[in-house]
Structure 1
């Protein structure tokens, strides 16, 4: 509750800091905008995954402004330092300003509201409803809780949140259906592994503060969909690397296609998964006798996966004001 109250107070402070014209909310039709909230990445090459999703969202919503936001404080601080580094910017001239100057979802939403957008849809670009999504949902709930004496002065006519790729708890949208859809989006990965004659192993992020059993459940969905040796382990939480490898060994496969089960192929994929250090998954699997091939492409580069967020956003934008 403290997080929710702080979010609400901060938005009010941001709104009060910029003078508004009297009767501002009575001028013209309600303006709609979209915010794509990703964990983020500091890797310039990995940004392409997020931008691919943004392009697909823009194509599906012509005329509606789409803004990016990163939920990770650490990653945003890295980009903030680069804002004052002319040499870095020159060396990475292809990085768009919307990434270089990316903000937290709270600031992004507040900027849109100040510019007259009172119908805002926030789409999570997270994989499942874990810690990051829960914090994002608390933020949106906090902003939705702001009510003014006069209805015309409400900061938002509507503020909605789209669910992550693997769905979320509750009966509004059965998460099993979302997992089935996500499994079909990975057909290209499975075909790639089949052509190589290799087991398909995904590295997910996970976390140590939330149940991450959905990764194990999704592994079961993938195996049932494709009747193929597909395994998922996590950097944090369950199933860990040591939980995944006994199943991999039992499959009898000696070749492995190792891919990130993350929106971007950033630090975890480049180092924890495909790095040359002794504790990287590539090295540990190689030492156990596997012939490992790594593929550093995030889920965001898959158009089928990007389409999941497009559709979840469309679902959110059908919600009526006040709905969750």
Structure 2
């Protein structure tokens, strides 16, 4: 019988409270779903790994785990990330996994949270009832990590899909790249928003949520005349519906090989031309 590994990969966090509610919760959910697989975990953020190591907590990188799995004779590998978008961290993970393509019999990788069009709609469904203010003068501002990758468009798209679903008082701001706070403030004023609810659009409610969002962003919004009614410190990973999106991605990867865009275009070119 071949050895099977379930490899859970996270950006990581230095905050134990949110880790227990998100990362640990997701690891358990997947381990319960794939009981015949041995569970392994890793963090991709080098900054998080260093800070954890400095306080005596050692977590592995994906490369270390992949090497260990190959050395221990594992043949079947399931990999699921909790990254929100298929950006730089996810691209690096895929590159590292591909470098081990000859070490394992089968490797299946589940996509990040926002990959397929339906993922955006499912996120709206998961968050809208609890998060979106009923008062149209009050906005929900989702604080995202941001990225320098072209996949930064994913953050603008989640705002677009909220609007398309009838929630036109939902806005996005990022801690990195675009859109930043100056863009957000202009949009809020143009929309006639007076009050704000802040919530993280991140898997964990860690450093960015507790400091950038709950302190810096709150103060900046208040300085610009907005009343911040609520700051929600709840990571996306606390929502069962969000974790189910990840779970469905891994199940989809197991069921069939993912088609890349080139295959998709070729299929439809042959069909219609």
TM-score range, shorter chain: 0.7 to 0.9
Structure 1 residue 67 displacement after superposition: 2.0
Q: What residue number does 2:266 align with?
A: none
CA distance in 1, matches of 2:227, 2:169: 15
1:286 to 222, 227, 242: 222
CA distance in 1 between partners of 2:254 and 2:58 (Å)? 26
1:219-298 to structure 2, matched below 5 A, reads 219-275=159-215, 280-292=216-228, 293-298=230-235
Cα shift readout 1:48-68 (whole Å, capped 9, x = no counterpart): 211121122123222322222
Moved over 4 A (4+): none
Cα displacement (A) at 1:177? 2.1
Q: TM-score w.r.t. structure 2 length?
A: 0.87
Pick the aligned partner of 1:40 from 3, 8, 12.
Answer: 12
Cα RMSD for the two superposed structures: 2.2
1:282: how far off?
0.5
2:23 to 25, 34, 50: 50
**What 5-or-longer segments of structure 2 have no aligned partner?**
261-273
Answering whether residue 108 of structure 2 is matched by residue 160 of structure 1, we say yes
Query: Closer, same or farther in 2 for the Cα pair 1:156/1:260, shift >3 Å?
Result: same
Change (3 A) 1:245 1:316: same
CA contact (8 A) 1:131 1:210 kept: no
Contact 1:160–1:323 (CA<8 Å) still a contact in 2?
no
Match of 1:18 in 2: none
Aligned to 1:77: 50
Q: 1:318 matched to which residue of 2?
A: 255
Q: Secondary structure at the match of 1:199?
A: strand
1:1-324 map, 5 Å: 29-48=1-20, 49-83=22-56, 100-144=57-101, 146=102, 155-167=103-115, 175-191=116-132, 193-194=133-134, 198-275=138-215, 280-292=216-228, 293-319=230-256
SS at match of 2:64: helix
SS at match of 2:100: helix
Which whole-Å CA distance do the structure 2 matches of 1:271 and 1:190 have between them? 20
- Give 5+ residue unaligned stretches, structure 1: 1-28, 84-99, 147-154, 168-174
8 Å Cα contact 1:201/1:232 also seen in 2: yes
Residues 155-183 of structure 1: CA deviation (Å, up to 9, x unaligned): 2001222111001xxxxxxx212222222
- Shift of residue 75 of structure 1? 1.0
> How far off is 1:309 after superposition?
0.9
Give yes or no for contact 1:160–1:319 (8 Å, CA) kept in 2.
no
The 3 A distance-change label for structure 1 pair 228 and 59 is farther
| Conservation of the 8 A alpha-carbon contact between 2:144 and 2:201 | yes
> Equivalent residue for 1:97?
none
Q: Deviations over 1:124-146 (max 9, x none)?
A: 211111111111111111211x3
